Amino acid sequence: MKIGCLPAVIVPWKLNEIMKSEKRILIDACGVRCGAKLIEREGMSVDRYIELTSELGLKKAKELPSKELEEAVYKTIRKEAKALLGRKLSERR
């Protein structure tokens, strides 16, 4: 599994690397779905999609996240990564 920032999708050589990935997770922070729209524009598919505000039952706010929110985001992403990879992440290190 490769991890990359969303803007990398529009950089040709980075897009090439992303396209080589066997599995892809896309994470959007809010319901505007900027990431999903960009990925769709580039003709890419994803294996898992997370939109964090809906997944965590939050409203978008312009404030720094609390430690509790950071932990909830981490757990959500880790759960999806485990489901996608089909085994414990610690086994892959």
DSSP result, the chain: -----GGGGGSHHHHHHHHH-S--EEEESSTT-HHHHHHHHTT---SEEEEHHHHTT----SSPPPHHHHHHHHHHHHHHHHHHHTS-GGGG-
- pLDDT tens profile 19-73: 888 888 889 989 999 889 988 888 888 888 999 999 999 988 888 889 999 999 9
Q: Which of 9-13, 22-26, 44-48, 87-91 shows the lowest mean pLDDT across its residues? A: 87-91
Question: pTM for the complete prediction?
Answer: 0.75
Number of domains making up the chain: 1
- Is 1 part of any domain? no
Specify the pLDDT at position 93. 46
Does some domain include residue 21?
yes
Range of the domain at 37: 6-92
